[in-house]
Structure 1
Amino acid sequence: MTDTAHLEPGPEVPTAREVRAEIRDWRRGRAELRWGEVLSDGYIAIFCIVMIGAMGGNVVLTLRRLADDTCAGSCTEVRSAMPWLVALAVALLALGLARLLGPVFSPPAANAWLLSTPVDRGALLRPGWGRTSALAVAVAALALLAPAVLGGFSLAEGAVFLVAGGATALACVGIAALSQVHENRVARVLTWAIAAGLWVLLSLSATHGAGAVPSVPLGVGLAAAALLVAVAAALFWWTRSAMAGVSRRVLGYTAHLSPSLSGALSSVDLGLMYDVLLARRWGRGASVRPRTGGPLGWPALVHRDLIRAVRSPQPFVLLASLVLVPYAAAEAGAGRAVVLVTTLLGLLGGPAMCSGLRVVVRTQSLARMLPLKRQTLLLAHLAVPGVALLLFSLATIPTLLPTHPSTEAANLAIACALSSLASTTRWVTGKPPNYAAPMVSTPAGGVPTGVFGSLARGFDVWAFTALPMMFGTGGMMLSSVISIGVISYLVSDSAA
């Protein structure tokens, strides 16, 4: 009879709290900032936030007094529906961003070094989930503060509205997190449901039906807010307990997103950030059915854009749904400012339709392989977005008829399409920061001069082309000339 060997116990597995304490101690031991520098930067940040908040609060309160004094008739109906429109939009935005970025997030270092160890994975992810939830509630409450004031709510009604809005945003983020953990389509279905509700409410505001939106008594609002808070808390704890079972493959989708977005935001390059998000969207399901055949020459590029629009019609559906916003603005008494709303919506919805143009602009090697001149290449990729923006602007002609004759309204709609197309072209064809050029010395280090203007890219052309249209036929002609000139320059070889 042989003796059984005694197995020695293996090393004790540390807890997640001990691992985080070790990481925290390592980081603090290599900190380079002094307390004086931290307090100085914090003072400057708090001062800027307070100053900008005071300016914004003063503007909102002034608009509230003007609305109380001058808003009447249909304007009052649109004003009463505005808080609910913004609340649905904030919920849709929170759900969309959560689906795109991934609320259950793991940094690349933690994903590589910690999640492969026997340490409890849920305990490592729960602190980040708590910060994400708190950020979602705080941002939603701040976004809903101005609509609560402008909507004419009392102090108690406004507080209930903010609580309900924050709880709704947290519930949407929680559903997105559960869909990410379990890899199901619940968040996608909810996104379309909220978008449909927003569209219905927007259509009521645009067709003299905003009065159909019922007023909510304070007691009912308190009960609804309490129910939303309970649902949001339940989803929060459900997600918190489900994080232990999330796989590294799911976390790998977001592991490389953080450094990519950090690099894009450090250079204030919104175009690069758009490229990162677009690559993440298509990287998760980039299987398509190939289609052969089609025309030759530059029409082949137009044909490819049409196929891409059929494969991914979401940008075009979004632009078509936004056509109700100018009608709601006209119903609220915007007058000649409707053209500003129309052109701004065209600028916001245009870049998503220019994926082909974005590829050939940012990938110079691919553009050189095509046997076409740069001007022909870019104009071919502008054909489909240009037609979509033209149809969008023509659909808003009834909003221009109260202030313009029918022929002038049609010409003004065409000028709005040209303005939107020029602004979109300016945004999509923007060059990345040139770090070989002379830089400006800042507390954050050397910064290229083009970084400061990248935030206003596209909006600068929109301002120069949309504002003249408010001053009659002469301004409309001037806007059209500027738009055509901007497009001609941006697609030329000198702008390469």
Structure 2
Amino acid sequence: MSSADGPVVFDPSDFGAIPTSRSLRQWMRTTRRRHADRSFWQIFEDVYLVLFTLAMVGATAGNVVRHLNSNAAQCASWTCGELTHWMPWILVPLLLAITLRMLLAVGPVSASRASGFWLLATPVNRAGLLRPAYRLVVGSVAVIGFLVAAIIWALLGRRFVDVLEGAVLISALLVCAVIATVWAQQTARRSRWTLRVADLLLAAAVVPTLVLALQPDPTKGAQVANVVLTIGDVQDNNLGGPSGLQLFVTFAVAVVVCVGLTTVTSRTLDRLGRSSVIAGGELLAGLAGAASSLDISMLGDVIAGRHWRLKGRVRSRRGMGSRGGAIVQREFFRILRWPRRLVIAGALLVVPYAVAGAGFDVLVPIAAAFAGFIAVRPMLDGLRTVCRSTGLARAMGMDLRDLRVVMAVVPGLFAVLWAGLAFPAIGSLSATFAVAGGVISGAVRQASARPPTYAGPLVASPMGAIPPGLFSQPARGFDLLILCLAPVLLNLPPLWVVAIPAFVLTVMFSVRPKTD
């Protein structure tokens, strides 16, 4: 028996020493630079334009936030005081839940298919190869969380020291959330439990929102003192005093804890499965393609596709009826197969009640309409698939217009139920009907919209030449939503508030959607 018949054993002496991950990344960086076809000044010109744009937008946004901070601090009503008290208990669990769900949808640690095939399948240390992506995620979440928290705390009318302290604490919590998702990415069971924790955090954000929205105003318009100082009160924002010392201690503790947890977790990156890492890279590539075409619906399709690929299979059920009735039943079962979407849709009921509890009664209908649109739109994935596939529409044996009506029955009933649950916050039956009509018409129009067209002459823009058909893509669906809400925003009589959404629904469901 020859040695060739035995098992293959890896011997480093036959191939040389295994390179370290650092040397491999250095070699890849050198190779990319050798093939670069752009000069330093060309790259610097693009970077300069981006930095200049960010500086202009940041200065404008900072001035707006400072002005709103001053106005919020001068508000002396009972509603403003309650909003300032309860809003942190709403926003903190909400930000944590959103961070957990978004990061688990991506990975959070991801790699391209090429990296997964050529690098992660080799004996090279996997933790060293994934560490740059891991640090990029941690740093991005820390910066974004700091900016978002600072803007929110400033809009509540807090002092400059309080804004910085709150931003540091929330940024540290979000970094801990990133570390938790990396730990959860290592096994499917941990991922499921982490998603359940995110759902509990959404429920925790609902409780103070309902308390804020439903408690009566005991002052009945009386004014109370408000001693909150604004960012502009420089004399009360001395960082050299006790407040500054407390901020420095908080910042130091947060940095030490975050750096320590990040370092410990980075040593466990070799436990990440190659399939989960590659799936995240494919998702990011699909999201980048959808964003480049300005197709909002495609973003949801990419996430849904990854969800069902990871799920693998579902339990089939025998259908009943024929033609339209059978399609309605199958759509109902399809929605039930992803119950977490129903949980998120129920959690979005927080939005109209929070706006009503904050005292912005004028903004309640539009806030309820946009929240309802986000809740209902994922339930129309079946309609979008049919409208984008001519062969599938022919196989069902029905006209595309009739299919749109039939496949919108279950999401339409859910939209009516959602608007009915938001009726106490909206406060008007006609406005509730307008919200439901706008949600149904807008979601159905966006789901049944044809793919973006690249015909016609290109339009010059700072980002390069763009086909004119892409500009109308993000507005599809939202145009009908605003049209149905227009009589409510213009304070028209109830007859017009009901008639205009009814007319929009009638016209939309009577017109055959375009497929080319």
Please, what TM-score do these two structures have when normalized by structure 1? 0.88
Q: List per-residue Cα deviations over 1:153-206 (Å, max 9, x = no partner).
A: 222221111111111111111111111123332422321232222122222222
Q: Does residue 1:320 correspond to 2:324, yes or no?
A: no
Match of 1:161 in 2: 166
In the TM superposition, what is the alpha-carbon distance from 1:87 to its structure 2 partner?
2.8
Moved more, 191-200 or 251-260: 251-260
Match of 2:154 in 1: 149
Match of 1:36 in 2: 41
Query: Are the aligned partners of 1:464 and 1:479 in contact in 2 as well (CA < 8 Å)?
Result: no
Q: Distance in 2 between matches of 1:210 and 1:91?
A: 30
Q: For 1:111-150, what aligned pairs fall within 5 Å after superposition?
A: 111-150=116-155
Q: Distance in 1 between matches of 2:466 and 2:258?
A: 43
What secondary structure sits across from 2:268 in the alignment?
A: helix
In the TM superposition, what is the alpha-carbon distance from 1:414 to its structure 2 partner?
1.0
Query: Are the aligned partners of 1:83 and 1:147 in contact in 2 as well (CA < 8 Å)?
Result: no
Q: Does residue 1:412 correspond to 2:419, yes or no?
A: no
Q: Does residue 1:9 correspond to 2:13, yes or no?
A: yes
Q: Distance in 1 between matches of 2:321 and 2:67?
A: 58
In the TM superposition, what is the alpha-carbon distance from 1:107 to its structure 2 partner?
1.8
In the TM superposition, what is the alpha-carbon distance from 1:223 to its structure 2 partner?
8.0
In the TM superposition, what is the alpha-carbon distance from 1:418 to its structure 2 partner?
0.1
In the TM superposition, what is the alpha-carbon distance from 1:129 to its structure 2 partner?
0.5
In the TM superposition, what is the alpha-carbon distance from 1:79 to its structure 2 partner?
3.0
Moved more, 486-495 or 71-80: 486-495
In the TM superposition, what is the alpha-carbon distance from 1:413 to its structure 2 partner?
0.8
What letter is aligned with 2:135?
A: G
Q: Distance in 2 between matches of 1:306 and 1:242?
A: 42
Match of 1:296 in 2: 322
Moved more, 67-76 or 12-21: 67-76
CA RMSD after TM alignment: 2.8
Query: Are the aligned partners of 2:294 and 2:470 in contact in 1 as well (CA < 8 Å)?
Result: yes
Q: Does residue 1:194 correspond to 2:201, yes or no?
A: yes
Assess, with a 3 A threshold, how the Cα gap between structure 1 residues 133 and 366 changes in structure 2: closer, same or farther. same
Match of 1:237 in 2: 263
Assess, with a 3 A threshold, how the Cα gap between structure 1 residues 84 and 12 changes in structure 2: closer, same or farther. same
What secondary structure sits across from 1:333 in the alignment?
A: coil
Query: Are the aligned partners of 1:361 and 1:367 in contact in 2 as well (CA < 8 Å)?
Result: yes
Match of 1:207 in 2: 214
Match of 1:66 in 2: 71
Match of 2:59 in 1: 54
Equivalent of residue 458 in structure 1, options 461, 472, 477 = 477
What secondary structure sits across from 1:472 in the alignment?
A: coil
What letter is aligned with 2:13?
A: P
In the TM superposition, what is the alpha-carbon distance from 1:442 to its structure 2 partner?
4.7
Equivalent of residue 270 in structure 1, options 276, 296, 306 = 296
Match of 2:371 in 1: 345
Query: Are the aligned partners of 1:175 and 1:235 in contact in 2 as well (CA < 8 Å)?
Result: no
Q: List per-residue Cα deviations over 1:69-118 (Å, max 9, x = no partner).
A: 33511232113322442332222111111100001211222111111222
Moved more, 135-144 or 58-67: 58-67
What secondary structure sits across from 1:26 in the alignment?
A: helix
What letter is aligned with 2:99?
A: A
Q: For 1:374-389, what aligned pairs fall within 5 Å after superposition?
A: 374-389=400-415
Match of 1:426 in 2: 445
Equivalent of residue 307 in structure 2, options 259, 281, 289 = 281
Q: Distance in 1 between matches of 2:136 and 2:461?
A: 30
Q: Does residue 1:334 correspond to 2:360, yes or no?
A: yes
Match of 1:372 in 2: 398
Assess, with a 3 A threshold, how the Cα gap between structure 1 residues 446 and 320 changes in structure 2: closer, same or farther. same
Query: Are the aligned partners of 1:418 and 1:483 in contact in 2 as well (CA < 8 Å)?
Result: yes
Q: Does residue 1:87 correspond to 2:113, yes or no?
A: no
In the TM superposition, what is the alpha-carbon distance from 1:432 to its structure 2 partner?
2.1
Q: Distance in 2 between matches of 1:9 and 1:310?
A: 57
What letter is aligned with 1:382?
A: A
Equivalent pairs: percent with the same residue?
26
Q: Distance in 2 between matches of 1:146 and 1:94?
A: 17
Match of 2:8 in 1: none
Q: Distance in 2 between matches of 1:188 and 1:485?
A: 38
Unaligned stretches of 5+ residues in structure 2: 1-10, 219-227, 229-241
Q: Distance in 1 between matches of 2:163 and 2:446?
A: 37
What letter is aligned with 1:299?
A: G
Equivalent of residue 355 in structure 1, options 368, 374, 381 = 381
Q: Distance in 1 between matches of 2:52 and 2:122?
A: 44
Assess, with a 3 A threshold, how the Cα gap between structure 1 residues 246 and 298 changes in structure 2: closer, same or farther. same
What secondary structure sits across from 1:350 in the alignment?
A: helix
Query: Are the aligned partners of 2:110 and 2:279 in contact in 1 as well (CA < 8 Å)?
Result: no
Assess, with a 3 A threshold, how the Cα gap between structure 1 residues 14 and 480 changes in structure 2: closer, same or farther. farther
Q: How many residues align?
A: 479
Query: Are the aligned partners of 1:141 and 1:163 in contact in 2 as well (CA < 8 Å)?
Result: yes
Match of 1:405 in 2: none
In the TM superposition, what is the alpha-carbon distance from 1:282 to its structure 2 partner?
1.3
Moved more, 294-303 or 70-79: 70-79
Query: Are the aligned partners of 2:209 and 2:353 in contact in 1 as well (CA < 8 Å)?
Result: no
In the TM superposition, what is the alpha-carbon distance from 1:302 to its structure 2 partner?
1.3
Assess, with a 3 A threshold, how the Cα gap between structure 1 residues 441 and 68 changes in structure 2: closer, same or farther. closer
What secondary structure sits across from 1:357 in the alignment?
A: helix
Match of 1:3 in 2: none
Q: Distance in 2 between matches of 1:474 and 1:338?
A: 18
Q: Distance in 2 between matches of 1:482 and 1:341?
A: 17
In the TM superposition, what is the alpha-carbon distance from 1:471 to its structure 2 partner?
2.7
Assess, with a 3 A threshold, how the Cα gap between structure 1 residues 491 and 222 changes in structure 2: closer, same or farther. farther
Match of 1:394 in 2: 420
Match of 1:495 in 2: 514
In the TM superposition, what is the alpha-carbon distance from 1:210 to its structure 2 partner?
11
Match of 1:257 in 2: 283
Q: Distance in 2 between matches of 1:494 and 1:206?
A: 41
What secondary structure sits across from 1:159 in the alignment?
A: helix
Q: Distance in 1 between matches of 2:12 and 2:180?
A: 45
Query: Are the aligned partners of 1:140 and 1:165 in contact in 2 as well (CA < 8 Å)?
Result: yes
Match of 1:176 in 2: 181
Q: Distance in 2 between matches of 1:481 and 1:106?
A: 49
What letter is aligned with 1:188?
A: L
Query: Are the aligned partners of 1:80 and 1:152 in contact in 2 as well (CA < 8 Å)?
Result: no
What letter is aligned with 1:463?
A: I
Assess, with a 3 A threshold, how the Cα gap between structure 1 residues 188 and 399 changes in structure 2: closer, same or farther. closer
Q: Distance in 1 between matches of 2:449 and 2:502?
A: 16
